[in-house]
Each structure stands twice: as structure tokens, then as C-alpha cells.
Amino acid sequence: MGESMQGLKRTCYCGEVNETMIGQTVTLMGWVNRVRELSKLYFITLRDRSGIVQVTLDGNNASPELMEKAGALGREHVIAVTGKVMSRGENINEEMKTGKIELEAEDLRILSPAAVTPFHIGDADVANDLRLKYRYLDLRRSELQENFRLRHKVTQCARNFLSDEGFLEIETPMLAKSTPEGARDYLVPSRIHQGRFYALPQSPQQYKQLLMVSGFDKYFQIVRCFRDEDLRADRQPEFTQIDMELSFVDAEDVIEVNERLMARIFKDVLNVEVPLPFPRISYKEAMERFGSDKPDNRFGMELCNLSSIVAGSEFMVFESALQAGGSVRAVNAKGCGSFPRKQIDSLIEFAKTYGAKGLAWISINQAGEYKTSLTKFFTPEKLDDIVSAAAGEPGDLILICADKDSVVFDSLGALRVELAKRTGILEGLGYSFLWVTEFPLLEWSEEDDRFYAKHHPFTSPMEEDLALLETDPAAVRAKAYDMVLNGNEIGGGSIRIHQAEVQERMFKALGFTPEASRANFGFMLDAFQYGAPPHGGLAYGLDRIIMLMTGSDSIRDVIAFPKVKDASCPMTEAPGEVSGQQLEELGLELVAQDE
């Protein structure tokens, strides 16, 4: 049983004790990081969120009761210590912020004993599933606590900046209406309206547009959002957005204020100067050069179109792709010509995970000689043309993909990033922002035989393309813009449709009947009839930004209590079963599914 802290007040944090306090008596509280006993001396490292400090007890000076308590201490016991700050003299620990001082204990209370933990706090070699099961212990790690300090600074900085720019922070509902566009919704059954469901918001999109109709002019919110989709390292079923919307603006206005916001955050939080303005490239250019609409532009290895050079060859892999309307493109892996066949095969297998059926390759040794899978299909002169088009030099490895454009872009776009990781060229490259603009307004789904909105159905077409909405929908460009950082989309937005008739045309292009449009979005269409200002906005994925700023491998490291790949929580075991009474109150009945 723990002792009471009655009569004690913490005077400072562990990491705040310094040389200016030598001779002062202070009271510290925290967790025992480690205990060492040496003859009649105890050395205790005490930890709280600010850092650690060494506490000493000398048996020659301390009372027997105090020494007995010290002997009973274990890792993670919660204690309060009162003592005098002393210099460590020559026994300085340069690895500790408090390494020049120590606390000579005069009183010690064990506030809460701790059981033996399933792993030592701070150990690097602990399985992720064990860390997540005991997340409250893993969060005691200094690395994770530093992540959350940084996250706090980012949100505080964003709030201050946007408030200074005249934005109002306004909360929007968590219980909303399910809409047919976008990812799957998380549904919440209504007890009062049985048979009806709320949806947890995938974003505050419709509400923030209605706030513009309401005349608030500038809105922002740091808001939780929910999507019932398959997870990856940088996705979670619930996530946080820095969300904003502005009235009487065009794309330039939204871009300008958001560039300054990012520059402020990186300067204030990381002391990193971000050059303004950010570079901009169109969606088409991004795909042609990088094979991705979120390109990492910190290194080369850009895609090269070989279609015209290899057209008419006897190599049916290339020819079939071209005849089907696809393309043949290559990435020059600079300096990778010495890769052994086993490593080339692993790159081919990597590309297959993005839909490629395989890769052709040309390896160039230091003497300029080729080793290739294409020898029997192309003359030496034609191989020279291919190598020249890919800017190949001695020591390079040219990797070639042939398929429909979407597969070629996905495969080579991912491959160039994988090559950059394997060759280590990303290390020390810092931060690089850019905008990707002029996205397609719509994208065709072969599976559903219909168009879907590339971003969302409220994104405005470019005026010069509006006439094509009925005649050539695939050619219509959107007034959309994504902010990309080091190959990661961290924010996306657009100028919105503010005219009811254009919104109705958009719904028609998406395959909605007037009745379906009215049933799903009637309140939006009605609102636009009462004076909707031109407006636009942007939303950031806060978790992803923090992941990049901290250099974390996964957003799980910057979310306090994350889910795992199947959207479950190992710690709380959510989602869980509910009682029959709860189901009955909601008018629900569980039906067994066939395996």
C-alpha cells in the first residue's frame, strides 16, 4: 500500500534541477527508473516527463528507516523525494541533462508500489504487439513523450497563427448523416429513431461549407475524423485534422495563407526555415515525372517514357501494353548497376505488389557494357537508344515497366522511393514542400462502371473545363491543391462549388438522379439557394505531419492510443461485444455470417 503525499508539494520537475539550485532543498515526484546499491549507498534515477535526475542515499547519513525504504524500491515505483541539491563534482554524467548535480535524499515516500512490468521502460527490443497491449507503460518512454510535446507545440502554434489571421475555431457535430461518396462510414445506431443511423464524420466538409453560407468567413477546427478502411503505417480508423475554410477566396489565397502557416510551424517548433513560396506542379506533370500525385522531389530517378522508342518491337510485353493504350516507362537507378541478380529480382517482386507483371532491366557496368533481359529482342543500337533516353551511364541500372498507365505509374513511382531508401540517399535531405494542382475532377471506376469524385463531390471544376462536364468528364480539371512533404500528402483542399446549378451538374456526372441528390444532399442544395459566397479550404492530416516532423516510422508513434491493422485496440480489446439488452434497446439483432 502506498503512502500519502499529504503535506508535500512538488517544487519542480526532475529535468529542471540544475547547478543554480545547488544547496537548495527541493521535492521531486516521479517513477523510479533504476536503483543501484553500492555498499551503504543507494543511487536512484528518478524520472518524470521532463527527464531524469539522480537521487542518492548514504547509509552513513540517512536514517535506517530511509535506507529500508530505498531497499524496497523497484522499477516504476512512484515516489516522492525531498532533499538537497548537490554538485556531483568530477562524477559528471554528460548523457544526462541533470548530469552535473544529484539530490541527496532527506525524506522518501513510496506513493504507489509497482508490479514487475512486462518489459523495461526504454528497452528498444520489445515486440510492437506487447508495447500496444501495455500502451500506458510504453508511453513512459522519453522518445514517445517528446513526440507528444512536439505535437502539442504544433497544435498550439496552428491555433495561435490561425486566430491571428482572423479564423474562428468552431466545433461541428460528431453525429452526422451517412453519405454515399468517399470511404466507408462508421455507423452509430439511434436508440430513439430505431432503424436509423448516424455516421461518424470522415471530415467536417459539409458543415464547414455551411458555416461559410452562415457568414463566418474564416473557420478552423482541430477535429477528430473517422474512416472505416483498411489500415497502413500512416493510416488509422480515427485521426485528427487541422481543418479550415475561407470565404471570398480563390486558390491563390488558400495556398498563400497555408504556406505561411507551415513556415510558422516549422520555424517555431523545429527552428527550420521553410523557403516560400513552395514549388508547384500539375497532377499530370507529377505523374509523368514521378509516377505519383504525392512525389518526393528531394532526389532524381524521375520516370522516362520509352514508348515511342520501343514501339513496333518484337517484345510482346512492350507491344501488348502499347496496343492496349498503355505505356513503357523506365526509372534509372543511378549507381545501382552493381546490384546482384538476387537484389534485382527483389525489386521486381516489390514492383509486382503495385500491380506490375514484372520488370525488364538493363545493367550497365563501369566499362559501359550492358547486361540485360532484352538482348534477344532489341539490336545493340536500339538498346543504346533506350539507355540514352534514360540518361544511362556506366554504373547505372535501368528498370522498365510496361502496362496500362495507372499500373506503370504506381509501380515505378513506388520503386523510385524504394530505391532511394535502399541506397540511403534520403538521409539528411531535410524537408521539401510542394503543391500538386490541377487534379482530375473525376476518376473512372471500372469495377462500378461510373465516375467518382477524385477528392469529394463539392470540389469546383476549373471554369475553362466546365463545358466538358457532360461531354468529356474525364478531361475536367479540378480547382484542387494538395500539399506534399517529402513524398507524403499532408494536406488537401479545393475551391468549392458554391452555385446550386453547378453542384447539381456535378451530382449528375457522378451518376446521381435528382431524387438521389435531393435525398442525400438536399440541405446543401437548399443552403446554396440563400446566398453562398465563393469559398474554399484545406485540411491537414495532423498525425502524418507529426510523424514526419519527429522522424517516426508510423503514425502509431504520434497517437496516444492507436489501433492496429485490423482496427482493434490490443489494450482495451475494442471493439467488444455488447449485451443483448443494449441491442434490444437499439432495435438490432446480430445475424451470423457465413464463413
418 and 352 Cβ atoms separated by less than 8 Å: no
Tens of pLDDT, residues 163-195: 999 999 999 999 999 877 667 899 999 999 999
With a cut of 90, say whether residue 310 has pLDDT above it.
Answer: yes
> How far does CA 409 lie from the centroid of its chain?
22
Buried b (16+ CB within 10 A) or exposed e, 509-548: bbebeeeebeebbeebbebbeeebebbbbbbbbbbbbbbb
Q: Give the pLDDT score at 106.
A: 95
Cβ neighbours, 10 Å, residue 84: 15
469 and 457 Cβ atoms separated by less than 8 Å: no
Topology adopted by domain 14-112: OB fold (Dihydrolipoamide Acetyltransferase, E2P) (2.40.50)
CA distance 407 to 324: 13
Q: How confident is the model at residue 3 (pLDDT cuts 50, 70, 90)?
A: very high
CA distance 457 to 524: 12
Pairing of strands 51-58, 101-112: parallel
Q: Average pLDDT, stretch 268-287?
A: 97
Topology adopted by domain 299-423: Gyrase A; domain 2 (3.30.1360)
Q: Average pLDDT, stretch 70-94?
A: 94
Closest by Cα among 514, 412, 408, 528 to 460: 528
With a cut of 70, say whether residue 233 has pLDDT above it.
Answer: no
Q: Give the pLDDT score at 428.
A: 85
The fraction of the chain above a pLDDT of 90, given in percent, is 84
> Which pTM was predicted?
0.93
Specify the 3-state DSSP secondary structure of 553. coil
Q: Cell triple for residue 142?
A: 522519453
Mean pLDDT computed over every residue of the chain: 94
Q: Where in the sequence of the chain do the CATH 3.30.1360.30 domains occur?
A: 299-423
Q: Where in the sequence of the chain do the CATH 2.40.50.140 domains occur?
A: 14-112
495 and 250 Cβ atoms separated by less than 8 Å: yes
| CB-facing half-sphere around the CA of 577: CA atoms within 13 A | 5
| CB-facing half-sphere around the CA of 387: CA atoms within 13 A | 27
Q: Give the pLDDT score at 181.
A: 64
Lowest mean pLDDT among 396-405, 407-416, 442-451, 494-503: 442-451
Query: Which residue's entry shows cell 531497499?
Result: 71
CA distance 345 to 332: 16
Q: Give the pLDDT score at 182.
A: 67
Q: Give the pLDDT score at 61.
A: 86
With a cut of 80, say whether residue 143 has pLDDT above it.
Answer: yes
Tell me the CA end-to-end span of the chain in Å, nearest whole number. 50
What are the distances in angstroms from CA 473 to CA 430, 450, 510, 524? Answer: 39, 11, 10, 23
Please tell me the CATH code under which domain 144-281+433-572 is placed. 3.30.930.10
Specify the 3-state DSSP secondary structure of 371. strand
Q: Average pLDDT, stretch 562-587?
A: 93
Tens of pLDDT, residues 239-249: 999 999 999 99
Q: Where in the sequence of the chain do the CATH 3.30.930.10 domains occur?
A: 144-281+433-572
Sorted by sequence, the CB contacts under 8 Å of residue 99 that are 6+ apart come out as 88, 92, 93
The fraction of the chain above a pLDDT of 70, given in percent, is 99
CA distance 172 to 490: 22
| Higher-scoring residue by pLDDT: 264, 428 | 264
With a cut of 80, say whether residue 339 has pLDDT above it.
Answer: yes
